A and B are shown apart, each in its own frame.
Chain A
Amino acid sequence: MTSTYVATLELAAGAVLLSAVMTLWRRSVSSIVAMLRLQGVALCAVAVDLALHENDRALLVTGALVLVVKGVVVPTVLRRVAKWDPRSRESRPLVNVPASLVFAAGLIVLSYVVGTRITSLSPDDATRLAPLGLATVLVGYFMLVTRRRAVSKIVGLIVVDNGIALVTFLLTSGVPLIVELGSSLDVMLVVVVLQFLMASVRHHSRIDALTELRELRD
């Protein structure tokens, strides 16, 4: 039983990080959103696995919430945003794709260095996976910084949020339900605002690379 628990946990946490890296790797928005969906499901799997192992009912509810918000609602909304745009590719990121992948590899190593220092305080099956969550946060942040398009930036933000959620799940075996509820709703709000924003910006100017927005001030 324990070994299934550990194996599932490792696999799910690995999948969260993998999907974060994949969002850097893929260019088409639809596959980036698909990766985000995978990440939501994997995160839910982490929560449910922990919940079953520790008989924590609240965590089970959190897991369900994660699945609904991050696995279903957010990706669906993003997909709809992406559909408006016929050229739905991240064509010219500030840092090109191979370089950002190599940089991501460096970030992963860095989070291993930093993370093991934290997790060595109380090593158990869940906490020693925390570096994976930390790496997810860093990769998401990197995406937030280097990608030009609004959708990609939002995806980066959500990846950061998912990474934070993963770290908290692993370190504290779940945050209080209310906190997770709050943060999930926050993210959802951001996505919905983006949807409206994009709709109106598109209506006015047909521009959606945020770096080009500087010109709108004038």
Chain B
Amino acid sequence: MTGWVYAGSATLIQVVTVGLGGPLLVGLMAKVKARAEGRVGAPVVQPLRDLRKLATKERLHARHASPVLALAPVVIVASTTVAVAISPLVSTRPLLGSSADILAVVYLLLTGSAAAALGGLDVGTAFGGMGASRAMTIGALAEPALLVAVIALSLPSHSSNLPRIMASTLAHPDWVLGPSRLLALAALVIVVIAETGRIPVDNPSTHLELTMVHEAMTLEYAGSELALVTWGESMRVGLLFSLVANLFVPWGISTHATVLSVVVAVASLAAKTMLVALGVALIEVRSAKLRLFRLPELLAGGFVLSVLAVVTGLVTR
């Protein structure tokens, strides 16, 4: 395989893996939670079935909606897809890998969140505004922890380029258990829980409007647009879980152009993200949803952990 073909096919495989794997991870978490609570639960593929069904249903728009309502889901899916395509998830050399900068990925995800919030505000109901306001607040509080944790990770390799960070971790296995890494991991787990809207930050399966965050923003969506929003959200889950897994344990990722290495990479990515999902599901089972105004404590904790990670990294270098 030549370089271009390899990079192109790796990118495509990444997008497909996360596009299908994201909903499956969401299904897996629901299943684990159900089992832990003594229920049977829906099958793991249920989210994919839901998407397929939604995609064929009629689109409904509220009377006062503007074109933003229809545009927002497209932006959500597109920004997440591009973030998936440029990140090193299956291969360390995807197309555009050179611009696979952490900052680019973070701000692409932020673009998606902003689009979702605008979609929520477009109809002009109380719920949409409430969800958008809360989601943006949580995002704004999680952002510092995310960026500083990422800086902590990029300190040893002096690069914010994701493939470079992973390559230098592959070259120095002893970094994995360093205190700076572990602290950054803890901070990132908090951020990922906040960004993917899981308990204790948000309850993805709530049916009570007043406690909703993400669900309140999407109340006005139906049919294929709801499918897009939900799909974008599960891709974001897949992307964040894969990034956490690969940043800390990159082994298994494909670094050279052979079919076998790509197959191994997809399998190991699936295994690693399933482990992350299992962990997050267990956290969800074990904890209660926090009140909105207790969230700053959690996220400030994440921020301190990430500052701690940077300082420890500076001290121990």
Q: Do chains A and B touch in the complex (CB under 8 A)?
A: yes
- Interface residues of chain A, those whose CB is within 8 Å of chain B, are 3, 7, 10-11, 13-15, 17-18, 21, 25, 97-98, 101-102, 104-105, 108-109, 112, 115-116, 128-129, 131-132, 135
Q: Do the beta carbons of B315 and A128 come within 8 Å of each other?
A: yes
Q: Do the beta carbons of B304 and A17 come within 8 Å of each other?
A: no
Q: Do the beta carbons of B308 and A131 come within 8 Å of each other?
A: no
Stretch at the interface among B7-15, B96-104, B177-185: B177-185
Q: Do the beta carbons of B179 and A109 come within 8 Å of each other?
A: no
Q: A14-B179, A101-B300, A112-B314 are in contact. Are A21 and B174 (CB under 8 A)?
A: no
Q: Do the beta carbons of B305 and A11 come within 8 Å of each other?
A: no
Q: Do the beta carbons of B300 and A14 come within 8 Å of each other?
A: no
Q: Do the beta carbons of B316 and A25 come within 8 Å of each other?
A: no
Which residues of chain B have C-beta atoms less than 8 A from A132's C-beta?
312, 315
* Cα of A189 to Cα of B62 in the assembled complex, Å: 69
Which of A14, A98, A101, A102 contacts B312, CB < 8 Å? A14
Q: Determine how close the nearest CB of chain B comes to the CB of A36; give it in whole angstroms.
A: 17
Interface of B is mostly: helix
Q: Do the beta carbons of B179 and A21 come within 8 Å of each other?
A: no
- Interface residues of chain B, those whose CB is within 8 Å of chain A, are 174, 177-180, 182-183, 296-297, 299-301, 303-305, 307-308, 311-312, 314-316
Which residues of chain A have C-beta atoms less than 8 A from B312's C-beta?
10, 14, 17, 132
Q: Do the beta carbons of A98 and B297 come within 8 Å of each other?
A: yes
Which of A7, A13, A98 contacts B177, CB < 8 Å? A7
Q: Determine how close the nearest CB of chain A comes to the CB of B143; give it in whole angstroms.
A: 14
Q: Select from chain B the residue with minimum beta-carbon distance to A128.
A: B315
* Cα of A116 to Cα of B314 in the assembled complex, Å: 10
Which residues of chain A have C-beta atoms less than 8 A from B315's C-beta?
112, 115-116, 128-129, 131-132
* Cα of A13 to Cα of B312 in the assembled complex, Å: 10
* Cα of A58 to Cα of B120 in the assembled complex, Å: 66
Q: Select from chain A the residue with minimum beta-carbon distance to B314.
A: A112
Q: Determine how close the nearest CB of chain A comes to the CB of B311; give it in whole angstroms.
A: 5
Q: Do the beta carbons of B308 and A11 come within 8 Å of each other?
A: no
A-B contact number at CB 8 A? 73
Which residues of chain B have C-beta atoms less than 8 A from A104's C-beta?
304
Which of B178, B300, B314 contacts A97, CB < 8 Å? B300
Report 14 cross-chain contacts, Cβ distance below 8 Å, ordered by A residue.
A10-B316, A11-B179, A21-B304, A97-B297, A101-B301, A101-B303, A102-B303, A104-B304, A108-B308, A112-B311, A112-B315, A115-B315, A116-B315, A132-B315
Q: Select from chain B the residue with minimum beta-carbon distance to A13.
A: B179
Q: Do the beta carbons of B179 and A131 come within 8 Å of each other?
A: no
Q: Do the beta carbons of B179 and A102 come within 8 Å of each other?
A: no
Q: A128-B315, A131-B311 are in contact. Are A101 and B304 (CB under 8 A)?
A: yes
Q: Determine how close the nearest CB of chain B comes to the CB of A147; give it in whole angstroms.
A: 15
Q: Determine how close the nearest CB of chain B comes to the CB of A7; give it in whole angstroms.
A: 6
Which residues of chain A have C-beta atoms less than 8 A from B305's C-beta?
18, 21
Which of A13, A105, A116, A131 contacts B303, CB < 8 Å? A105
Q: Determine how close the nearest CB of chain A comes to the CB of B185; give it in whole angstroms.
A: 12
Q: Do the beta carbons of B179 and A25 come within 8 Å of each other?
A: no
* Cα of A131 to Cα of B303 in the assembled complex, Å: 19
Q: Do the beta carbons of B307 and A108 come within 8 Å of each other?
A: yes
Q: Do the beta carbons of A17 and B177 come within 8 Å of each other?
A: no
Which residues of chain A have C-beta atoms less than 8 A from B303's C-beta?
101-102, 105
Interface centre among A18, A109, A128, A131 (most CB of B within 10 A): A18
Which of A3, A98, A102, A108 contacts B311, CB < 8 Å? A108
Which residues of chain A have C-beta atoms less than 8 A from B301's C-beta?
21, 25, 101
Q: A109-B311, A112-B314, A132-B315 are in contact. Are A7 and B304 (CB under 8 A)?
A: no
* Cα of A17 to Cα of B304 in the assembled complex, Å: 11
Which residues of chain B have C-beta atoms less than 8 A from A116's C-beta?
315
Which of A105, A108, A129 contacts B316, CB < 8 Å? A129
* Cα of A105 to Cα of B296 in the assembled complex, Å: 15
Q: Select from chain A the residue with minimum beta-carbon distance to B308.
A: A108
Q: Determine how close the nearest CB of chain B comes to the CB of A176; give it in whole angstroms.
A: 27
